[in-house]
Chains A and B, each alone.
Chain A
Amino acid sequence: MFKNYAMTAIRNLLRYKQYTLINIFGLAVGLAACLLILLYVHFELSYDQWIPENERVMKFETRMYDKGGNFVYNSDRIPPVTAPIFAEQFPEIELYSRFLNESVALALDGKAFEQRLTVADPDVFELMGITLLSGDPATALAAPDAIVLPESDAKRLFGDSPALGQVVKVDGTFPVKVTGVMPDWPAASDLNVGALVPFSSPVVDYQPWVRTSWGSFWGPTYIRLAPGTDLEAFANDVNEFARRVGPADRYQERLDEGVRASYEFHFTKAIDAHLKGEGGDDRSSMVHLWAAGVVAFLILGIAAVNVANLGTMLALKRVREVAIRKALGANARQLVIQLLTEAVALTFVSMIIGVALAELMLPTFGQLMDRDLTSGLIYTPFMLSGLLGGTLVVGCICGLYPALVAARFRPVEYLTGMKPTIGVWFRNSLVVLQFAATIGLLVTCLVVFMQARYARSLDKGFQSEQLVGISGISKPMVLEREKALRESLSRLPGVEEVAASHDMPDENHYTNSSGIRTDTGVEKSLRRVAVSAELLPMMKAQLLAGRLFSVDRAADSEVEKDALASATVVLNEKAVNELGFDRPEDAVGQEIYSPGDVRSTIIGVIANLRTRSARSEPMGTYYWVGPSEFRYVVLKVAPQNMPETLAAIDEAWRGFFPELPIKRQFADDAFAKYYDTDRRQGWLLLFSGGVMVVIAVMGLYALAALSTERRSKEIGIRKVLGARSLNIVQLLLWQFSLPVLVANIIAWPIAWWGLGRWLEGFVDRISLTPLPFLAAGLGVLFIAWITIIGHTLKVARSNPIKALRYE
């Protein structure tokens, strides 16, 4: 019996080859896209899940309060100096490790390699469940000159010879000894970990204050809590303890004045960092993943709609056969089983092709999404059974509707000349929904790309073209010779201007801040940005009042010992507002007091400089001439002979620091990187939108073919009665445009609402206009027309007697 069904099923699928192909291919593409997106979603969800006992592993975080006791922001880290203090005091902290990233150069046999380092604590191995490939975890991070290399770095440096015990020189200054080799850090981790070095390592000397200051933040701190620790109560204990041992200016003095302490520590789950953490260019969010998941199933859904629609049309095509079969005694159940078998067989073939397609596209897709995706997940028993079950379910859904249509249809009606019209309404609604989803997604695509373009073109408050930032200037041995370096660079042909700064567009953000007081008694925490006197004029910062620093006025740049402000400062517009001045002019000439009661005169106010992404609000900032806090040398290069100029810059750097690879990037490139996540989102959308268009259009094509075929008699009659080909083309185009037009009406409001919400996440954003909506709607209509125009013309031109003759 089953064999009979299967044979008939296959015969039928072969008989309507064109439609079978469209069905199989459409469903396969839909499934492949769905699988790829699910692999991506799964990968995002798997972040840090590999950490052992992860329900007890926490990230130590800090809420910051300014001098007025107002909440400023939440930092997802704590001052590194506090970690061992807390760990020693509280038995609840079973294990802890700080993760402080630094980039250095490793020199070996006269060759220099760039190497990412992570300062970590000895507990890191047990805390993160890392088994060393060689070396002893108990002692690997004991000595200050220890380094534990990831496997691939060890290979890069030493090839196949054992790395353990080898000595390499860091930044050309101090040697370290390889004490262990560990597997490469998992890709699915919020932490970006390089080679491990202990907190006692000389690398930390680059920022010595980190060892002592409660005001310095670097990387995150992870801890494992004892089982059963109450998070809130424990956080209270920690804060209570901090009030007692923390520095007076952050705790006791403020408490005495009745102002909140500077810090309030709390915990978040380590596994939540990737999806619930704030900011971070590489992070994702649950909303994003939900959206991706919904899109995945939408794609599968519209592919399934095609199968169901075509199935019904084909069932109607076979109506004569069905009528005769029924007249001969076939019952409804047999028919249903027949059609279901066909649909399941078709879905099964699609599933196999879909999985193959997903495998084929995975590398490209992974690259697009910037993720190391593997297909292993597909072949787990769970997924395989899911796929098989899904095949059955989708197959049944696809087949059920045609089956019911065919089963409900009564042969007498056909034999008395009535044409079944059942399901027309339902079919049309499905087509409308299909196009609504497609249009909605395309609109989203357009708006996301428009916003990304807008964000890139935002007025940054300065001229970013031709600006090159060289980072790594804060390393002590570089900082020492920074002045000489700048002088040497300024003599290179093609280098127009040279300056130094604490802040440049970069993926790594450094934020220093100082509590500032004015004569009027306002107290505010402002961002502190050290610049050389040349920087602001060179960036063409827009002056609102007063003047900029001048190299010729030595008094501008005078800095008292250990002061965090020079004799004169420049404020940005935001800072002027925060300090309570009405107009920029009012601020000029006023004095401000930075920590240690250092007095500085405001000489100028500039428009806010935007060196970060459009998602973050510019901060109230004061600029000072402070060589101790330079992180970048900034160059303005001539647009001509750029490659030669860059090569000369590299050469000059090598002359100064032969064992340090230069790290430089154009400011504009750094800006582009801010929108990587958006770009990724955009690509995902474009990918999904493209797949949807292809599937929907294939469905429309087949539907148009079948339905014009069904209407051929009517078209013949119309032509006999005098309709021209043009009239017929109009008639058919209208028939197929209508669902697309209705789809617009459904898609537009939903997309408008959703995109409005999404745009609210940007401080600077485009306003929604009807343009992308019209573009997507018309685009889809246009594509739909192209798809069916060939068919329509053929039908419109054909001789009507053919259609009437074979009636």
Chain B
Amino acid sequence: MLKLHNLSKVYRTDEVETAALNSVNIEIESGEFVAIMGPSGCGKSTLLNIVGMLDTPSSGDYVFMGENVARYSEAKLSNIRKQNIGFIFQSFNLIDELSVEENIELALLYHNIPASERRARVERVMDKVGIAHRAKHMPSQLSGGQQQRVAVARAVVGDQAMILADEPTGNLDSAHGQEVMEMLQALNEEGTTIVMVTHSPAHADYARRTINLFDGHVVTENLRAAV
């Protein structure tokens, strides 16, 4: 599905240069479930943002579905992104002023899909993540777990092939965390590629492979023995 080759990211601020990623080489197959672990500040989010095409690498190559996208323009990246990639964030990132269904619909708004079909799709995913009874509610009226379910629904409503999740359980208690993990697992079993950053070894166990980052380097890659 994607391949990172000697990929680096350097942040330049006025005085300091931070090398957030340093010659990273990673390959992720279609249909995989990968967990990324590592201490805070080691570059996990940076990696995920580049993979998700929200950011561009300073050097190196990023081949996504056979295309080297490392030097693509923002507009091109945006196009590939909205077709293929869904996001889930630690802080849910729902829009407070929009209802649950409107939040989910937002992911289809920029896809040229007619309104009737949009509505049908939104209803389908809401059923799938079990949030349909809260369709008209505002995010602030939901619990954290419910909000994250909305976020998951939003990430998959466009039939994205890959979901990138940055600490999706970070703000949830263990019961709700587990719920979200089970949802991701189910999606993976249906064929969605999932890349997830997590601090919890238990949640990393849902993945087939764990990549450990330290200071912008890939330290180890563990393949979980097949169950």
Query: Which residues from chain A sit less than 8 Å from chain B, CB to CB?
Result: 416-419, 421, 713-714, 716-725, 727, 799-801, 804-805, 807
The 9 nearest A-B residue pairs measured at CB: A722-B82, A722-B110, A418-B140, A721-B107, A714-B95, A801-B54, A723-B110, A717-B93, A419-B96
- Name the distance in Å between B113's Cβ and chain A's nearest Cβ: 11
Given A417, A714, A722, which contacts B78 in the complex, CB threshold below 8 Å?
A722
Q: Does B32 have its Cβ within 8 Å of any Cβ on chain A?
A: no
Closest partner residue, chain A, to B83 (CB atom): A722
Closest partner residue, chain A, to B89 (CB atom): A804
Cβ–Cβ < 8 Å partners of A807 in chain B: 91, 93
With A418-B96, A418-B140, A799-B54 as contacts: A721 and B110 at CB distance below 8 Å = yes
A713 & B106 in contact (Cβ 8 Å cutoff): no
Complex CA gap A200/B52 in Å reads 102
Given B45, B74, B75, B79, which contacts A805 in the complex, CB threshold below 8 Å?
B45
With A799-B54, A801-B49, A801-B55 as contacts: A724 and B93 at CB distance below 8 Å = no
Q: Which of B57-93 contact A (CB under 8 A)?
A: 74-75, 78-79, 81-82, 87, 89, 91, 93
Cβ–Cβ < 8 Å partners of A421 in chain B: 97
Complex CA gap A806/B60 in Å reads 27
Total A-B pairs, Cβ < 8 A: 60
With A799-B54, A801-B54 as contacts: A724 and B95 at CB distance below 8 Å = no
B95 & A717 in contact (Cβ 8 Å cutoff): yes
Task: Jot down 24 A-B pairs with beta carbons below 8 A, ordered by A.
Answer: A416-B140, A417-B96, A417-B139, A418-B96, A418-B140, A419-B140, A717-B106, A718-B106, A718-B110, A720-B81, A720-B93, A721-B107, A721-B110, A722-B79, A722-B82, A722-B110, A725-B74, A725-B75, A799-B54, A799-B55, A801-B54, A804-B89, A804-B91, A805-B45
A804 & B93 in contact (Cβ 8 Å cutoff): yes
Closest partner residue, chain B, to A419 (CB atom): B96
With A418-B140, A799-B55, A805-B45 as contacts: A719 and B78 at CB distance below 8 Å = yes
B91 & A722 in contact (Cβ 8 Å cutoff): no
B97 & A721 in contact (Cβ 8 Å cutoff): no
- Name the distance in Å between A537's Cβ and chain B's nearest Cβ: 75
Given A713, A714, A720, A724, which contacts B54 in the complex, CB threshold below 8 Å?
A720
Cβ–Cβ < 8 Å partners of B79 in chain A: 722
Complex CA gap A720/B110 in Å reads 11
Given contacts A720-B87, A722-B107, A804-B93, 9 further A-B contacts (CB under 8 A): A419-B96, A721-B109, A721-B154, A722-B111, A724-B75, A724-B78, A800-B54, A801-B49, A807-B91
- Name the distance in Å between A413's Cβ and chain B's nearest Cβ: 8
Complex CA gap A804/B111 in Å reads 22
Closest partner residue, chain B, to A807 (CB atom): B91
Cβ–Cβ < 8 Å partners of B95 in chain A: 713-714, 717
With A721-B82, A721-B106, A722-B81 as contacts: A714 and B97 at CB distance below 8 Å = yes
Closest partner residue, chain B, to A804 (CB atom): B93
Cβ–Cβ < 8 Å partners of B91 in chain A: 804, 807
Complex CA gap A243/B154 in Å reads 98
Q: Which of B86-129 contact A (CB under 8 A)?
A: 87, 89, 91, 93-97, 106-107, 109-111
- Name the distance in Å between A338's Cβ and chain B's nearest Cβ: 27
Complex CA gap A410/B96 in Å reads 17
Closest partner residue, chain A, to B79 (CB atom): A722
Cβ–Cβ < 8 Å partners of A724 in chain B: 75, 78, 110
- Name the distance in Å between B75's Cβ and chain A's nearest Cβ: 7
Cβ–Cβ < 8 Å partners of A714 in chain B: 95-97
Q: Which of A421, A804, A805 has the most CB of B within 10 A?
A: A804
Cβ–Cβ < 8 Å partners of A799 in chain B: 54-55
Cβ–Cβ < 8 Å partners of A721 in chain B: 82, 106-107, 109-110, 154
Closest partner residue, chain A, to B49 (CB atom): A801
Closest partner residue, chain B, to A714 (CB atom): B95
- Name the distance in Å between A717's Cβ and chain B's nearest Cβ: 5
Q: Which of A713, A720, A801 has the most CB of B within 10 A?
A: A720
A727 & B110 in contact (Cβ 8 Å cutoff): yes
B140 & A417 in contact (Cβ 8 Å cutoff): yes
- Name the distance in Å between A320's Cβ and chain B's nearest Cβ: 15
- Name the distance in Å between A416's Cβ and chain B's nearest Cβ: 7
Cβ–Cβ < 8 Å partners of A717 in chain B: 93-95, 106
Cβ–Cβ < 8 Å partners of A727 in chain B: 110
Complex CA gap A804/B45 in Å reads 12
Closest partner residue, chain B, to A723 (CB atom): B110
Cβ–Cβ < 8 Å partners of B87 in chain A: 720
Cβ–Cβ < 8 Å partners of A719 in chain B: 78
A713 & B78 in contact (Cβ 8 Å cutoff): no
Complex CA gap A722/B106 in Å reads 9
